[in-house]
Amino acid sequence: MQTARDLIAEYTSTGTLEALPKGHFIDGTFIRPSHNRTMESFDPGRGEAFSGFTAGTREDVDQAVRSSRRAFETVWRDTGPAERGRILQKAAALILENLDLLAVTETLDSGKPLQEAMGDVRGAARAFEYYAGACDKLQGDSFPLGPDHIGYSIHEPVGVTAHIIPWNFPISTAARGFAPALAAGCTVVAKPAEQTPFTALLLAKLLSDAGLPDGVLNVVTGTGIETGAPLTSHAGVDHITFTGSVQTGKAVMKAAAEEVTRVVLELGGKSPVVVLSDCDREQALNGVLGAIYENAGQICSAGSRLVIERSIHADFVEQLVRRTKALKLGHGLENPDVGPVNSAEHLAKIAGFLDRARARGASIATGGSVTQDPATGKGWFFEPTIVDSVAADDELAREEIFGPVLTVQVAEDAEHALALANECQYGLVAGIYTSDFARAHRLARLIDAGQIYINEYFAGGIEVPFGGNKKSGFGREKGLEGLKSYCKTKSIAARIA
């Protein structure tokens, strides 16, 4: 098996990887599409195409959904929970065995630094481990109806589930949806983002190798218009898990409404990191840096707003700027501090935010411009950026930039910080840094967000439910709450007297 070093050497010499899959994955194998069309996949670190993949159609989607329906009704729904658990556990082991291939592929597809991609792959394996252990523990309830009756509930799999996977965390998002759906007894049809198709395909093959019956997990690649829209509007789909933009999420909801299909939506974020004057300064500085610059800020739950008390604002931002300027940019395979953004189109979008801010006279403390890999002069890079003292009604404080841009908002005290944190259309996550745990937990209760981190941003893991409020969506993934998303509850009552 090739190591990361081998794979990087292969890519350096050939510009591609031989192990990249071709075709859709349907009925347990890679197949030719209904129309023999392909698309290019780009390496963001070079800004160059490195491979091609299948451009799917409505016919391909229909084939995949029908395959998953057959597999659900004839095989997977009635597979014993313990057996489902054994397959998912085997899949977790195979993911770790193929860590280097998956991570290098993820870096080439998404642009993120290799060490981040390796963390994502390990997290994907952990997701399958976690839900493998939950398969035979999905228990119903009994209801106290008195001596003449018995009442109980059972959890049944909802059926065929559609998964729309985003480009920023392809394997992570795939795993956190696939694993609970399969654990519950559902089948899966997945559509990865057209920018990052490969790890979902590789993951499907590994699950097949682990013993997953044919048709239980199918992957169709292509554009959102030609494959994503037909999937989310398909009458054979019983549930949709979507991660992406608010605008596309609204379109998914409308499509689902036509068939009364269940949905879980994880949409945008503009998450605040509240830093109070009594915080551990080093802990907070490290936390704020990681919250915004991991994956070049391309994270729905990124800490993109620093809400900081005025008494420590100037010194904290000065130290933050110094550390930000020291961050090294580069190709993801070189393990830089910050990698590229995912596409030329997205780079232009980020630049537009900063151009408009500059025209308004914004105080850009550092960064603010498009740049390239210092080693090659190639790639889609944006400088790690801090914009200081931004008003609450400014575009930078209200809109999701989805890049390495930190907006600083100054609060007079903790109550003002709370007001600023909540003055937002989004409610995905929030961070709090303070030494006063009573105040931390009070703020955690009052901030309107689906998940709160205290003194460590991105704390938790697959065990902790994740999802948003307001325009960040609804429903929860991860944890046992995520498992329930793929179940329908049936209640049974009987007279026994």
d(CA 195, CA 347): 14
> Would you call 309 a catalytic residue per the annotation?
no
Q: Residues with Cβ < 8 Å from 14, sequence gap 6 or more?
A: none
Sign (positive or negative) of CA dihedral 9, 14, 16, 20: negative
For 312-411, strand residue ranges (E) read 363-366, 370-371, 381-382, 385-388, 405-411
CA distances from 391 to 107, 128, 320, 398 (A): 36, 43, 19, 10
Catalytic residue among 135, 300, 424, 487: 300
Report whether 39 contacts 222 (CB < 8 A). Answer: yes
The dihedral formed by the CA atoms of 320, 323, 326 and 328, expressed in degrees to the nearest 10:
-90
324 phi/psi in degrees, rounded to 5: -65, -40
d(CA 406, CA 302): 10
Report whether 43 contacts 108 (CB < 8 A). Answer: yes
> Would you call 300 a catalytic residue per the annotation?
yes
Catalytic residue among 106, 226, 266, 400: 266
Q: For residue 453, what is the enclosing H or E element? A: strand 451-454
| Strand 38-43 versus strand 48-54 pairing type | antiparallel
**Is 379 in a helix, a strand, or coil?**
coil
Report whether 46 contacts 378 (CB < 8 A). Answer: yes
Report whether 99 contacts 171 (CB < 8 A). Answer: no
Enzyme catalytic residues: 266, 300
